[in-house]
Amino acid sequence: MTVIEAVTPGSDLGPQCAGFRRDTITLTWEDRRRGHGRRRSDSGTEFAISLPNGTILKGGDCLVLPEANTIIEVREAPEPVYVIHPKSPQEWAYYAYHVGNRHQQVMIGSDELIFLQSPAVRSLLEQLRVAFATDQRPFTGALANVGHS
């Protein structure tokens, strides 16, 4: 089985990949954070990854399988999320404080905060009495490291 140890941005693919077959792999946020393990592309190609610690796959990243003459492009899977739209700097700070204090994943947009749906997040939003909407969209958390260091 091919083991991929590096990620290549799509813009950095060299001429040696010109004739390679194209494939995709659609991954959730959690799957994009896991840098080790077996994977299967969207069309069924099996391979493994052993990426440097802390690597987070992003949409458009490429995994090159030279033995199979294949490039597998990462796609970010739509996931169920909650979306809130803070109306003032105070609301932004208030929500960020409570979310961070409970170690919940958050994606920060230009005018919205996005959370993966879970009972803990729903309970938090209800406790804060904040209006939220549900949606499906790719999610990329603002922080990859958890802890107080």
Q: What's the pTM?
A: 0.84
Query: Does the pLDDT value for residue 126 go beyond 60?
Result: yes
Percent of the chain with pLDDT over 70: 95
Q: What is the mean pLDDT of the chain?
A: 90
CA distances from 87 to 76, 84, 91 (A): 28, 9, 6
Show the CA angle centred on residue 114, arms to residues 110 and 119, nearest 5°.
165
